[in-house]
Structures are given as structure tokens and as C-alpha cells.
A and B are shown apart, each in its own frame.
Chain A
Amino acid sequence: MKEIVCKLLVIGAGPGGYICAIRAGQLGVDTVIVEMTKAGGTCLNVGCIPSKALIHAAEEFDKVRHMASHNALGITVEAPKLDLAQTIRWKDGIVGRLNSGVLGLLRKAKVKIVHGRARFRDGKTVEVETETGTQVIRAETVVIATGSEPVALPSLPFGGAVLSSTEALSLASVPKTLAVVGGGYIGLELGTAFAKMGAQVTVVEAMAQILPQYDADLVKPVAKRLNDLGVRVMTGAKAKGYAGEALEIETSSGKGERIAADKVLVTVGRKPRTEGWGLEELDLDRVGRFIRIDERCRTSMRGVYAIGDVTGEPMLAHRAMAQGEMVAEIVAGRKRTWDKRAIPAVCFTDPEIVTAGLSPDEARAQGYEVRVGLFPFNANGRAMTTQSEDGFVRAVARADTNLVLGLQAVGAGVSELSSSFSLALEMGARLEDIAGTIHAHPTRSEGLQEAALKALGHALHI
């Protein structure tokens, strides 16, 4: 096959890779992108998007189911049923639409797409195993955007009843009993969804708290809701194996226990995909398992960049996208460095958690004297009228200048506050800036303004 020579080669068409390729194409850089499965990466195919579809379906079903009994709204319905296979078809339809959307955007930006598995021959040359043979691609600049994949537990290898998040997003029916090993955000998002769809769910977490990266205040409403949904949460417990349709665990007190489970979902983390594509040939510097990058996403090899999950935490699509955009502009000759102040993180549990910048403890640990303002949604009109009063908005600021250092919220629908949070941090807002901005009434976003006012000492609604 004829060799392809190009200026920029992007390996992996996930959120980081495809954004990088599109932006490079817009800037007139001769760009090729290689993808071994479908465009959109983990996020679009087996991550963010399908999980949100499933979560939505589960929420709708749960709402309707609760209307089958006496309810405050006075709605009566017959006992609803869920056809998960149809839900999955609907979800697949959305994924398909987005797949072709990404391909369309790449084509519009004049990016050449090569389907197949890439393997480095050297730092400038890649071989791609395509359906029609080996395609050699030579590029001046290479961007590694190979992403990440679920980590398996040695005692619970994937296969059969033991699922990774990927398989859990395509089940044909709702399991009667489901054990979730790993109480991080992926496990809890999916565990909650299956619980709402009718599964008896048990969450097994090795640490002392579920969602260990969040502070206890943020996690409390989530734990409460899990309890209401009948999800059994076992912290400080270790999964030992799966046998006889039961998960064997060792509880925090050291006792063995068997938990009935038709399926076991293992969500103990994700690891960078650094094997099987010739990284060994390149011998790039690493940080742990991740590829080491600098503030321009350059690796230790000249002309080789890396972006996204393969470069480290936080493994979030929007971080990869921002890196991809930056690298494309650097390749096009513009001066850019990574100078983002905030990478917001959202956890789509029930209720949702959103964070940007520093938590109160993190800020104190960095030596700041802080003021913290917290506004609970049970004092918010919009929250009352949507029957979801759990949660709060919290603002963290420097005590001396009122410069906002971090913003957090937990509550229904708070993921949409993430843009205000990041904007405030990127713009270098002070508490007064947020407090002095009119927030529409009645919305949950008023909680942000009130939290800022609270930190300033004059909240109006509490």
C-alpha cells in the first residue's frame, strides 16, 4: 500500500484525538487520524454518553414507578415495565448519531481517517493494520491519544458474569442481583441506574468511604439516596472472587461473606492504554504508568505529543479535548502553553456532584486562610418545586482577597453549574463578583450566588 506522508498524525479518535485533528485541519495542517474501533473513543462509545443515556432511562423509569403508588403530585399510573433491550437500542442510536457526527466533522476539516490498529515503527513512522493490508504513515509530528481502559482485578477477571463498564452498558436485561466492586463514580453511576431499573445492588468499596476523592459533605446526600434506593453499601470490604453466582468478599471486620450476584460489575479504576502499539519502541519517559508530558503536552521525544487519559489524571474527556486543541495550535505554529486554572469534574450519581478548583481542605492544605459559604438547596424555591431538596452549593475563597479558589455542589441537575464554576475560576472572580451577578429566579443557580453571599457574611435566604 502506498505510504502516507503527512504533517500531523493523531493516534486515537477519542475526544482528545478527534478535537486535535479537527482543530489542526481547521488551521490547514495536513492531518491523518487513526482509529482502531469507532470514532469518539471511550467517552462516546462506552463511557460518558452511553452511561448518561442509561442513567436517564433509569431515572425516568424510577420516577414513573414511584407514581404507581400514592404520591404528593396526585398522579396515577399503572405499574410500568422496562424493556432494557429497547433502551439499549435507543442508546445505540444516539451513539451511532454521534459516531457519524464526529466522522463528518473530521471530513469537513479535511482530516484523513485511517481505520485500523496503529503500531509505532519509530517516532515518525506508524504502521496501521487495516482491513486491506498494512498502511505505513510517516508524519512530522505524532500525537498519542490512545486513551485508557478498565482495570481488572486478578481475583475477578472480566468475562462471563464479571463485567467491565463496557459490557454493563449493553446488557439485554436487568440483572436481578448486581454486585458493584469499586465505589468510585463509574460504579456508583451505573449501580444507581441498575438499582432504579429494579436490580438488587450491593456496592463493595475497599476504602472507608464511597467516592473517596470527594469530601464527606459532598458524598453524604449520595449515600443517603443509595440507602433510599435499597442499595447496600459495604465500605472497607475486599472482593475475593466469584463463584456459584455469588461474590465472595472480606468485610471490614475481616469476616468472609457471600453476596448473591447474577452479575458483578468491576469498576476499580482505569489504566492508560500504553501497550500493544509500540510504545516500547519509543521508550518515552513515564510517570508511573502514564506518559510523561510537559506544559505543552510534549513527551520526552521530539515531535511526539501525548494527550488525554494516557497522560494521567484527571482522566476526563474535556481535559483531553482542551489538550488536543492546544496541541493542534502548537503544531500549526502558535504559541500555547497549558495554563488552565480549573478542570471541572462531574459525578452523575443521584444527586449529582460537581467540583471545580480547591475544596476547603485542599485550600487549607495549600496554606490559604479561607472563607467558605454553603447554601443548602432546601432553602431554594426551585429545588422545592422539583422535589429534590438534597444537597448544597459551596464556595471557597481566600480570606484576604475573597478570590474564589473552588466551587462545589451536590444536588439534582447541578452538573449544569459546572460552566459557571469554571468560568468564575478562569476569570479570577472574587466572591463579590459572583454575589454581584444577578442569578435568575427561580433556579438552582441562585444557590451559587447565595453561597458567595454566605461566605461574605450576608446570605439573604438563610
Chain B
Amino acid sequence: MGEFVIKMPDVGEGVAEAELVEWHVKPGDPVREDMVLAAVMTDKATVEIPSPVDGVVLWLGADIGDIVAVKAPLLRIAVAGEGEAAVEEVLPAATEPLAKAEPVVSKPVEAKPVAEAKVVEPEKPVGRPAVREPVERPLASPAVRLRAQEAGVDLRQVSATGPAGRITHDDLDQFVARGAQPVAVPAGLARKTTTEDIKITGLRRRIAEKMRLASARIPHITYVEEVDVTDLEDLRATMNAGRKPDQPKLTILPFLMRALVKTLGEQPGVNATFDDDAGVVTRYSAVHIGIATQTPSGLMVPVVRHAEARSIWDSAAELTRLSDAARNGTAAREELSGSTITITSLGALGGIVTTPIINHPEVAIVGVNKILTRPVWDGTQFIPRKIMNLSSSFDHRIVDGWDAAVFVQRIKALIETPALIFIEG
């Protein structure tokens, strides 16, 4: 019994590695020459790897999704005889394990040489996918082929019962049904090889485009600071308890919005947009605050316009109205654009730190993390305080680290002593 090692081929285009995307065989399977064993994907194309020999699969060198370097061993096949003709690609039968495979191969030592006895009998593929000669495309009517394409079925995997090896509608039905409830799969973990291509359209596409733009163009600096919100939470509870029936319930956001307005008055450089094609920064006297909002179809950013002219109650009411409109899909186009700075908050899901992406072409975004009660040393003892982090990102081309820090510290000061928010001047 010789052994034949198949290595990741040089798939060209200057790539040094490729992702393994499909196995068509598993250890113990008989293979025939030219049968497709695996598929690998570069960023440009998917390439099928055929077997150069007849034999039995001994070992698979990677899992689906693994990045495998070119020339790294991919699988080993037991072949009849010495495997002599296999030239440089054959390793002597008892090579040391594949430990010297490039490190990118994730699980190299599962090499469990399957009982080499197993007689190679590719002629009798009982229960195995029908093996066809590779030059031929699967034999099936156009209707069957269309159904297979739509179901994502590779017809080469489907065993045919029709004359001359033709795949019938029934064959395809059976294959699909079996895929839905795997019969012969033994208990335990199994490889899943199906993929689903989802066309990115509509809102998702716009989000993707916007994120790409922001990420590609803006060098982000993210600054995280801890804010003690105990006093603010007390004030909020008091205000909510005493609110009039027509007043909305206050969350922490309206307070933050008021604090932002106040801080931006002192630091207009952060309330700006940057047209980097034209090389112009536009500063705004108005504060239009974008509120990142999760909607059923994805992220939207409705805008509370002229926050500088809104009281805390007004801010809260507008915030509620806009986020409802965004979720219902009734928000108007102008309500979804024109912000000069953005707040992003995931509420209780806020985590302890985030790295918000700036809403291009703005220059700053303030991220709100969740509130935690933490023990704080006050000089003599630990006392419970409500602590919240603010994770804020800035366009580092426009906002220096110093200014970013001053900005966040000013907000922190206002929130920690909330009365300051409401003092004019």
C-alpha cells in the first residue's frame, strides 16, 4: 500500500493561501481518479481539487473554513502498489506526521491512518454519491438543473436512477429530502457544508456602504471614560415620579443630549462635518443629534433637530417620536439625515466598552455603555455607586486627542453634577 499526499495547489493569481470551502470525501471513502475531492476558495475564485489517483482517503488535513497555505498537505490517499509514479508529491508511506505543515493549517495531527486494509473498490459505490467522469456535466434536464441551482444542490452529488445516468426530478427530491433529515449520519458532531448566499440589498446595503466609507476614510480614535451617574439617576427618578401625564418618561439620553449641547457650545470643533474630498470642515451652530436606532430591517439614525432649542422634556418627546417612526418605517427622509453628531446606545445591552464607528461625514460619536452598580472607595469606605462608561470616537484628522479628552471630561463633569446641565451660562 502506497500513500499519496495531495497538497494545496498553487491556485494562481499570486495567492499564498486559500480557504477550504468544501470536502466531497471523508476518511475511508474510496476515490477515483479525477473525482472532485474538495473545493478551495481564494478571494477571487473557487477552485475544485480533483483526485489524481484511485484509492481510499486516509486523512483530511483541514476543516471547512480553514485557511490552508499553498503546498501544505490537504489530504492523504492510500493507493495500490508503491505509489511510485506520484513523483514529488508522494511522501514515503511512513512520513512523520504533518506537524511541519504550515501553522495556518488548524488541525494537523488528527491523522488517524484508517485501516489500510480496506480494499479499493470504487466500482461499487453503494449508497455513495454516483461517481461520474469529470469532463461530463451531470446529465439532467434543464428543469431539473434549474431546480438544483435554486436549491443550491450540486448535481454531481446526486445519484441518478434515470437511463444513461440521467438525474430525474425524483432523484433530486430524494437528495433534498435526505439533506433535510440526514439518515445515515452517526451520532455526534457532523460537518456542515451548506452555505447560503444572501444578496445584500436595500437598507443593509446602505449600511454596509456607509460603514465601509466611515471605516476606510476616517482614522478613528476611541476614548473611554467612566462616569458616575448616581446623582443623575436620582434626579431622573425624581423627575419621572413627578412628571405630568403628557410628559414622556425620561431615559438617560435626554440628559446626555442636553449635556452635549452645553459642551458643544464650548467646543464647536466637535459639532462638525468634514468633507474630505474638498478639504473643508463645516462647524454648525445648531446641534442636530443623530440617534443610532435598531429597527427590524437594520441600523437607522433618526435625527433630533435643533437639540439646542429643546428642553429636556421636548428632547425626550422628540426622541421617542423619531425612534418609533424609524422602527415603523414611517420616518421621513429628512428625519434620517442631516445630523451633526451622533449618540449610540444599546441600553441594557450596552456592554462595558464599545468602539463606535463615526457617522460619516461627522467627526464625533458618543457611545453609551450600560450602568453598573460598583463599589467605589470614597476615602474611608466602599460605597455603592452607579457607574456608566462613555465610549466616544473622534475623527483624528480633525479632533486631536487632547480636545477629545477635554470634550468627554466636560460631559462627565456635567453628568456627575447634573444640576450643572440646567444652569444657564
Contacts and interface: CB of A to CB of B under 8 A. Distances in A.
Interface of A: 294, 333-337, 339, 341, 366-367, 398, 401-403, 426-428, 430, 432
A-B residue pairs, 10 tightest by C-beta: A401-B164, A428-B139, A403-B164, A333-B199, A428-B166, A427-B141, A335-B149, A426-B142, A430-B164, A339-B145
B149 A430 contact: no
B328 interface: no
11 contacts: A333-B201, A335-B197, A339-B137, A398-B164, A401-B164, A401-B165, A403-B139, A403-B165, A426-B142, A428-B139, A428-B164
Given A335-B152, A402-B164, 9 more contacts: A334-B150, A335-B150, A335-B197, A337-B149, A367-B135, A398-B164, A401-B165, A403-B165, A432-B163
B111 interface: no
Given A339-B149, A402-B164, A403-B164, A428 B140 contact: yes
A426 B145 CA distance: 10
A334 B201 CA distance: 13
B170 to A, nearest CB: 15
A325 B286 CA distance: 52
Nearest to A341: B137
Contacts of A337: 149
Contacts of B166: 428
A427 B145 CA distance: 10
Determine which residue in A294, A336, A428, A430 has the highest number of CB atoms from chain B within 10 A of its CB, and name it: A428
Interface in B158-174: 162-166
A401 B160 CA distance: 14
Nearest to B155: A339
Contacts of B197: 335
A430 B142 contact: no
B161 to A, nearest CB: 13
Interface string B122-145: 000000000000010101111001
B152 A366 contact: no
A379 B137 CA distance: 36
Nearest to A431: B164
Contacts of A428: 139-141, 162, 164, 166
A78 B165 CA distance: 61
Contacts of A333: 199, 201
A398 B163 CA distance: 13
Chain A at the B interface: SS class = loop
B41 to A, nearest CB: 14
Interface in B187-237: 197, 199, 201
A223 to B, nearest CB: 34
Nearest to B140: A428
A212 B266 CA distance: 83
A431 to B, nearest CB: 10
B81 to A, nearest CB: 24
Contacts of A334: 150
B412 to A, nearest CB: 44
Contact of B135 (A341, A366, A430): A366
A396 to B, nearest CB: 14
Contacts of B140: 428
A333 B197 CA distance: 10
Contacts of B201: 333
A114 B309 CA distance: 49
A322 to B, nearest CB: 11
A432 B166 CA distance: 14
Interface string B294-308: 000000000000000
A123 to B, nearest CB: 15
A426 B163 CA distance: 14
A398 B135 CA distance: 14
A341 B197 CA distance: 25
Contacts of A367: 135
Determine which residue in A294, A335, A401, A432 has the highest number of CB atoms from chain B within 10 A of its CB, and name it: A335
B163 A430 contact: yes
B164 A336 contact: no
Contacts of B165: 401, 403
A428 B164 CA distance: 8
Contacts of A336: 149
A196 B165 CA distance: 49
Determine which residue in B137, B142, B150 has the highest number of CB atoms from chain A within 10 A of its CB, and name it: B142
A336 to B, nearest CB: 6
A341 B199 CA distance: 28
A334 B142 CA distance: 16
B141 A426 contact: yes
A336 B162 CA distance: 24
Nearest to A300: B44
A2 B140 CA distance: 49
A157 to B, nearest CB: 40
A428 B163 CA distance: 9
A25 to B, nearest CB: 18
Contacts of A430: 163-164
Contacts of B142: 426-427
Contacts of B199: 333
Nearest to A332: B199
A427 B135 CA distance: 18
Contacts of A341: 137
A341 B45 CA distance: 23
A131 to B, nearest CB: 32
A397 B199 CA distance: 41
B370 to A, nearest CB: 38
A398 B133 CA distance: 14
Interface in B12-46: 45
Contacts of A402: 164
Nearest to A404: B164
B208 to A, nearest CB: 13
A453 to B, nearest CB: 17
Contacts of A335: 149-150, 152, 197
